[in-house]
Amino acid sequence: VTINWRGLLGLPILLAWLLAVASSFFGIGLPSAVWWVLVGWSAISALYFTLSRGVLSFVLKRSVEALITIWIIATATFFLLKILPGGPFDSEKALLPEIKAAIEHKYKLDAPLWQQYVSYIGGLAKGDLGQSYKYLDRGISEIIAESLPTSVQLGAFALLLSYLIGIPVGVLAARHHNRWLDSALMIGAISGVSLPSFLIAPILILWFCFSLNWFEPALWQGPEFYILPTVVLGTRAAAVIARLVRASVLEVIRADYIRTARAKGVSERVLLFKHVLKNSLIPVLTFSGPLIAGLITGSFVVEQIFAIPGIGKHMVLSVSNRDYPLIMGTTLVFSALLVLCNLLVDLLYAYVDPRIKLS
Amino acid sequence: MGRLLTAALVGILSSVIAIGCTKKGGKLDYGLNPSETLRINIQQEPPSLDWSKSVDTTSSLVESNIMNGLVEFNLSDPELSLDPALATSWSSTRDAKTWTFNLRQDVKWTDGVAFTGQHVIDGWERLLNPSTASQYAYFLFGVKNAQKYSQGKIKDFNEVGVRLDGEGRLIVELEQGKSYFPYLLDHHSTFPIRKDVIEKHGDRWTDPANIVTLGAYKLKIWEHDKALVMERNDQYYGSKAKIPYIYAYMINEMSTAINLFDAGKLDLQYELPSREIRNLRTRTEYRQKGNLGLYYYGFNIKKPPFDNLKVRKAFVKAIDRKQITDMLAGGYTPLSGWIPSGMFGYEPERGIQFDLEGARKLLDEAGFKDRSKFPRVKLAFNTLEDHQRIAENVQAQLKKNLGVTVEVVNEEWKVYLAHLHSDAPSMYRMGWIADYPDPDNFINLMASYSENNHTGWKSAAYDDLIAKGVSETNKEKRRAIYSEAQRLLTEVDVPVLPIYSYVTQALVHPRVKSFELNALKKYVFRGVELQ
């Protein structure tokens, strides 16, 4: 029996990730080793792909660019924070000057700005994100490590849901172009984009938790807790995807090669799934980079409404607390994820569409 | 293949719905049984359980259940008298300058080590040590040489006025007499510490595995940003807690917490959304209780037109405080004096009362007969819905009653604070919640040297009264001193417009017994029972 090693690097990874996310949804706790295997497996395929397609120089170039981007973001954020009025230890009860001085000395806030900057960037280079000013005695890496996984989990569920709903709805709408089903679906999609989550969430909670008594109104402890936040967070993304897919399918369906295929007698179903859909998903891929980064770094509103212990809260509250190290930490995590997702999307482009040249 | 896929999809969907429908009601994390667990919501992750350093009410709630100070407030006493805790009794010299505390001998920390007076001294040393950088270091600045130690001017802690005598009693020497000194000792910042534990574990000493305490509860689980569990301490020296466990959620969104309360998963929610108070207060689970806090506006008397006393008085006379408290509907007490209701020294009639004719007359006399000549002044507050509602109400009252237009401006909290310190707006909102239940804590705010006085008002007579009030031990004489100080502040010079004293509102599940809200907004669960 010959194993097709190359075959293991493409679609199966996607399926494995889907399975893993689904099992996490159903409260089946996979050992962390499984997750590391998945990550490793994905990394190996990315590497294999990079080498086999000869895009190594592209990836290296982009990685260097990514580092520079992150450094620029870190620098800009650092100085912007210092311009922002108000400090981390200001409160309703004003501090005595000597106490304020002791605190500022302890956190080295009394050092010249350039020294603070150099010491922060120096720490960053060593992977040290510093200590929180608000959560005394807790490191920023620790806070992120504790809150990010929950946000990633919620984001992954929402992402999956948005694909599961968005893609079929988009295809269906395109197939029934300019008929009532199309209009109905698109009205639904526009509502999905425009309705804010702080409106949808309470309505769903009222209905599903208190009238129907199906789900839990808040917290993050199992499937009955996951469903509503996932729906609320996923709806908007699903709506955007549906509109993208619809537009894209309509464009592809008019392409010459589809007409040719149809003329050659290819059945409508094969035509749709094999030729149209595959080619229509490229815009979705483009959109997925920022979407993934946005979904997994947490939604403040959804996490707030459902009391989910994710990182979204820290992103917002760290600013109102002027917890400089935590603001820097969350900003950098978000930027790093965004840069990484965009790089992956670029690689995926080349993978799904050989016409796209990476350079 | 297509059918298989469809079947799989249908299978997944139906199992999702099936799981969704089998809601497991009442289950609690960590295998806790709801029937022996009090479920409370502490609103947020406690920023620190290191009681020498923490500054917020959430941390303080946990700390006052897992720790004890030398004394303890009797929260059911309207006068908030002190009960013995780690000290069995205490006394002072006549001038209230030297205090002696007899300590309990039978107290054990959770690791079995016996409590001694040295642990108190260690705690005070750590609080005052500049390297700890505690925001509450000023709590002990009344102790001899404490402030100098905190400023680093004295390096040897032996020079600070606290020591043990030969019989293990704690002797405290103050810079000057302070009649309310024991009141400071139920505050977490003055609690004893275990230096050995802190040195051993460093910043990690407050982790449940490391922390050593001596209160009625002990810290069992602390899952950051998610939940915290306290377990009854069976070695507690006093009467043991009645409920075995306390499970604390960290839910910031009040409506979410109320949803959980309605779903029967929460027993106590002690912050309620003010916009819903009108509905919530009709519920049987609703409780309210005045607490020692003050909501006020300050005038910047350096800025015209508030450099004119008559204008300030006219503004205060023009405001009907009851309109504001009625609008808020949460049971707030209008306050015209400076000491909040429920505290020693409170006088309902103190300060300038609502007087429409008087207000108009004063403004005329101030030279603004022609109201169009009145400058446009700013009324500033930090961005929050309630502050907005109150500011708009005051704006409307001033327009209607005096015919003057003020502009309401809001700023984000920290920006607002920065402005207060650098260049306080003409009229600004502020509040204060008691650190300790003594009028000095409030009167002190407007001292000429106070960092919290943004009005620009400085009065030597007022500062004198503060100094007298602190060292006076006769209760009636003290009352007279604070009455005079309030008169100076709210009737004579009027740099402030007090509006109301605070109220705590809560929803309490009927199964929770022997639980009362108190004026200090302290939540001590030792005596609470579950039915």
Q: What is the ipTM of this complex?
A: 0.86
Of B147, B256, B433, the CB nearest to A306: B256
Place of tokens 């030969």: B166
pLDDT tens profile B313-372:
999 999 999 999 999 988 899 999 999 998 999 999 999 999 999 999 999 999 999 999
pTM: 0.89
Q: Please tell me if residue A300 touches chain B, with a CB cutoff of 8 Å.
A: no
The arithmetic mean of pLDDT across residues B174-185, rounded, is: 94
Enumerate the residues of chain B whose CB falls inside 8 A of the CB of residue A87: 414, 418
Residues 81-110 of A with CB under 8 A from B: 84-87, 89-99, 102-103, 105-107
pLDDT band at B18 (very low <50, low <70, confident <90, very high): low
Enumerate the residues of chain A whose CB falls inside 8 A of the CB of residue B130: 102, 105
Enumerate the residues of chain A whose CB falls inside 8 A of the CB of residue B249: 219, 307
pLDDT at position B3: 58
What does residue A143 show for φ and ψ, rounded to 5 degrees?
-60, -45
CA dihedral of B155, B156, B162, B163, whole degrees rounded to 10: 160
Q: Which residues contact B80 (CB under 8 A, 6 or more apart)?
A: B73, B74, B437, B519, B520
Q: Which helix or strand (DSSP H or E) is residue B380 part of?
A: strand B377-382
The C-alpha atoms of residue A16 and residue A33 are separated, in whole angstroms, by 14
pLDDT at position B91: 96
Which residue is closest to B127 within chain A, CA to CA? A99
Asked if B252 lies within 8 A of A217 by C-beta distance, the reply is: no
The answer to whether B299 and B496 are in contact (CB under 8 A) is yes
Q: Output the CA angle B26-B32-B34, nearest 5 degrees.
A: 40
- CA–CA min distance A300, chain B (Å): 11
In angstroms, the first-to-last Cα distance of chain A is: 38
Task: For chain A, give the longest Cα–Cα distance.
Answer: 86
The CA–CA distances, whole Å, from A32 to A41, A154, A310, B148 equal: 14, 17, 19, 53
pLDDT band at B14 (very low <50, low <70, confident <90, very high): low
Query: Does pLDDT of A223 surpass 90?
Result: no
Asked if A91 lies within 8 A of B417 by C-beta distance, the reply is: yes
Q: What 3-state DSSP class applies to B1?
A: coil
Q: Which residues contact A124 (CB under 8 A, 6 or more apart)?
A: A74, A332
Enumerate the residues of chain B whose CB falls inside 8 A of the CB of residue A269: 2
Omega within 30 of 0 (cis) for the link into B334: no
Whole-number mean pLDDT of chain A? 88
Among B12-21, B35-44, B65-74, B78-87, which stretch is predicted with the lowest mean pLDDT? B12-21
Which of A92, A143, A230, A323 to mutate to probe the B interface, most B CBs <10 Å? Answer: A92
CA dihedral of A264, A268, A274, A275, whole degrees rounded to 10: 60
Angle between helices A56-83 and A113-125 (to 10 degrees): 150
Enumerate the residues of chain B whose CB falls inside 8 A of the CB of residue A216: 23, 263
pLDDT tens profile A55-75:
888 888 989 999 999 999 999
Asked if A223 lies within 8 A of B255 by C-beta distance, the reply is: no
The CA–CA distances, whole Å, from A91 to A96, B129, B501 equal: 12, 21, 20
The C-alpha atoms of residue B39 and residue B43 are separated, in whole angstroms, by 12
- CA–CA min distance B368, chain A (Å): 34
Of B131, B417, B435, the CB nearest to A86: B417
The C-alpha atoms of residue B135 and residue A89 are separated, in whole angstroms, by 9
The answer to whether B41 and B268 are in contact (CB under 8 A) is yes
pLDDT at position A197: 86
Which residue is closest to A142 within chain B, CA to CA? B224
Q: Which helix or strand (DSSP H or E) is residue B72 part of?
A: strand B71-73
Asked if A86 lies within 8 A of B263 by C-beta distance, the reply is: no
How far out from the chain centre does Cα B512 lie? 24
Q: Please tell me if residue A28 touches chain B, with a CB cutoff of 8 Å.
A: no
Residue in B454, B466, B471, B440 with CA at minimum distance from that of residue B344: B440
The C-alpha atoms of residue A91 and residue B381 are separated, in whole angstroms, by 14
Asked if A209 lies within 8 A of B259 by C-beta distance, the reply is: yes
Which of B28, B32, B45 to mutate to probe the A interface, most A CBs <10 Å? Answer: B45
Asked if A26 lies within 8 A of B19 by C-beta distance, the reply is: yes
B50's tokens = 């290191």
Whole-number mean pLDDT of chain B? 92
SS (H, E, C) chain A: CCCCCHHHHCHHHHHHHHHHHHHHHCCCCCCHHHHHHHHHHHHHHHHHHHHHCCCHHHHHHHHHHHHHHHHHHHHHHHHHHHHCCCCCCCCCCCCCHHHHHHHHHHCCCCCCHHHHHHHHHHHHHCCCCCECCCCCCCEHHHHHHHHHHHHHHHHHHHHHHHHHHHHHHHHHHHHCCCCHHHHHHHHHHHHHHHCCHHHHHHHHHHHHHHHCCCCCCCCCCCHHHHHHHHHHHHHHHHHHHHHHHHHHHHHHHCCHHHHHHHHCCCCHHHHHHHHHHHHHCHHHHHHHHHHHHHHHCCCHHHHHHCCCCCCHHHHHHHHHHCCHHHHHHHHHHHHHHHHHHHHHHHHHHHHHCCCCCCC
pLDDT band at A45 (very low <50, low <70, confident <90, very high): confident
The answer to whether B99 and B181 are in contact (CB under 8 A) is yes
The arithmetic mean of pLDDT across residues B261-290, rounded, is: 93
The answer to whether A138 and B224 are in contact (CB under 8 A) is yes
Which residue is closest to B54 within chain A, CA to CA? A136
Asked if B430 lies within 8 A of A92 by C-beta distance, the reply is: yes
Residue in A334, A257, A330 with CA at minimum distance from that of residue A293: A334
Q: Please tell me if residue A268 touches chain B, with a CB cutoff of 8 Å.
A: no
What sign for the dihedral angle of Cα B57, B59, B65, B67?
negative
pLDDT at position B23: 46
- CA–CA min distance A320, chain B (Å): 7
What does residue A84 show for φ and ψ, rounded to 5 degrees?
-55, 125
Enumerate the residues of chain B whose CB falls inside 8 A of the CB of residue A84: 414-415
pLDDT at position B244: 97
Query: Does pLDDT of B15 surpass 80?
Result: no
pLDDT tens profile B462-497:
999 999 999 898 999 999 999 999 999 999 999 999
Residues 172-231 of A with CB under 8 A from B: 202, 205, 209-210, 213-219, 221-224, 227
Asked if A223 lies within 8 A of B138 by C-beta distance, the reply is: no
pLDDT at position B24: 47
pLDDT band at B312 (very low <50, low <70, confident <90, very high): very high
Asked if B417 lies within 8 A of A134 by C-beta distance, the reply is: no
Q: Please tell me if residue A283 touches chain B, with a CB cutoff of 8 Å.
A: no
- Using DSSP bridges, classify how beta strands B268-269 and B406-411 pair: parallel, antiparallel or unpaired: unpaired
- CA–CA min distance B18, chain A (Å): 10
Enumerate the residues of chain B whose CB falls inside 8 A of the CB of residue A274: none
Count of CB atoms within 10 A of residue B468's CB?
16
Alpha helix positions (H), B368-455: 385-402, 413-423, 440-443
Q: Please tell me if residue A168 touches chain B, with a CB cutoff of 8 Å.
A: no
Enumerate the residues of chain B whose CB falls inside 8 A of the CB of residue A98: 147, 150-151
Residues 121-140 of A with CB under 8 A from B: 134-138
pLDDT band at B9 (very low <50, low <70, confident <90, very high): low
| b/e sequence A47-74, b meaning 16+ C-beta within 10 Å | eebbeeeebeebbeebeeebeebbeebb
Asked if B418 lies within 8 A of A90 by C-beta distance, the reply is: yes
Enumerate the residues of chain A whose CB falls inside 8 A of the CB of residue B271: none
Amino acid at position A209, single letter: C
Alpha helix positions (H), B29-167: 57-66, 117-128, 146-151
The answer to whether A120 and B187 are in contact (CB under 8 A) is no
Query: Does pLDDT of A153 surpass 80?
Result: yes
DSSP for B193-216, please give it. Answer: --HHHHHHHGGGGGSTTT----SS
Asked if A205 lies within 8 A of B249 by C-beta distance, the reply is: no
pLDDT at position B25: 47
